[in-house]
Structure 1
Amino acid sequence: MLPHDLCSKLQNAFRARHLHVPVEHTTTNLGILSILLRNGFITNITRGTVDEPDPVAFHSARDTERRIWATLKYRDDRPVLNHMEVVSKPSKRVFMETSELRAISTGRRAQFVRPLRLGEIAIVKTNFKEHEWLEAREALRLNVSGEVICRAR
């Protein structure tokens, strides 16, 4: 499962003013959604089935029917997450060292990636099991480099 599917599903759900959106249950989706939750872009994530967010039914469901349900966040009837785009694509993967992550986090361009704006985050996948999915600023604090997967604002 590629992250571009998650990005487009979340963006389309916000534009359609949905309250909940189900996405496939993968570690990639769970990692990205947990970062969006920690940074306040979504309200809640829970496991469930294709039909409903139900953690009890999740355990008895088949793998193909398992979903992660994200509760979307709105403020003054406007979505908190305005835009989400993929940075690293299968045809062109974007790996950044800590110096390049520092550059995009502090307002400078690195490689072909534009700097992060105010209120924007970049999601980084690292090679460390205990810190596999991080936000760019968290990766800087831990002095960890990795692949920049997507950005959200």
Structure 2
Amino acid sequence: MSLVNLAHCCSHLQNASKARLGLTSIPCTTLHHTLMLQLQRSGYVSSVTIGGPVPPPPSHLNPILDPADPEYQYQSQSQSSEPSSTNTNTNTNTDMDMEMHTGSNESIITQANIATRRLWVGLKYWNNEPVLQKMHLVSKPTRRVWMGFREIEALARGDASGYVRGLRGVGESMYVTTDRGLMEVRDCVEKRTGGMILCRVNGV
């Protein structure tokens, strides 16, 4: 886990929101991808798409639904019940659209292009203000902050835990890396688990 690269991504997303960009990209890593999906689930970003150095077409920027969402399960069942010929045609058209937009089939990840993978993140705005106002690390490369369940519970209540202040702002979230994966602090309280405090996000 590289906190240096994650700090750069946090600064980039914060600056892109202030610049009123609709779409921006960050390096594609497992940690970045998991965190962006958590941000999307919390409502800070509109879409998360894995692509190449060229922005993907608008048709590829559809929001990714949570597998726990009933709508996701409904769409999965609907797609599986369609005839195989329809699915084949759809996939062929999708690949052709990608090739026409980028000049090559970037949807296939190979050893030759894996280093050029980018995460394309769609930013959200409300009343002409960015939804993602601030984003910064809590743990530093030279000082990683580990907390147990009780300390994280105090943060979720709004109380300070050590030198980390609690969540008191409207639309404020904090993300934690645990042995069960990356979670928001409220999910950590629900599942009674602790971990390393990764970053803090302030919304509108």
Q: TM-score over 0.5 for the alignment?
A: yes
**Structure 1 residues 82-97: aligned runs within 5 Å:** 82-97=133-148
Q: Which has the larger radius of gyration?
A: 2
Which of these residues, 126, 138, 142, is aligned with residue 178 of structure 2?
Answer: 126
**Structure 1 residues 1-153: aligned runs within 5 Å:** 1-2=2-3, 3-53=6-56, 57-60=106-109, 62-117=113-168, 118-128=170-180, 132-153=181-202
Identity %: 33
- Structure 1 residue identity aligned to 2:123: L
Residue 59 of structure 1 deviates from its aligned partner by: 2.2
Structure 1: gaps spanning 5 or more residues? none
Residue 53 of structure 1 deviates from its aligned partner by: 2.4
- Structure 2 residue identity aligned to 1:59: I
TM-score by length of 1: 0.92
Residue 60 of structure 1 deviates from its aligned partner by: 4.0
How many residues get paired?
A: 150
Q: Higher helix fraction: Structure 1 or Structure 2? A: 2
Q: Report if the CA contact (8 A) 1:58-1:66 is conserved.
A: no
RMSD between superposed Cα atoms in Å: 1.4
Q: Higher strand fraction: Structure 1 or Structure 2? A: 1
Task: State how far apart, in whole Å, the 1-side matches of 2:41 and 2:52 are.
Answer: 23
TM-score by length of 2: 0.70
Residue 93 of structure 1 deviates from its aligned partner by: 0.2
Structure 2: gaps spanning 5 or more residues? 61-94, 96-105
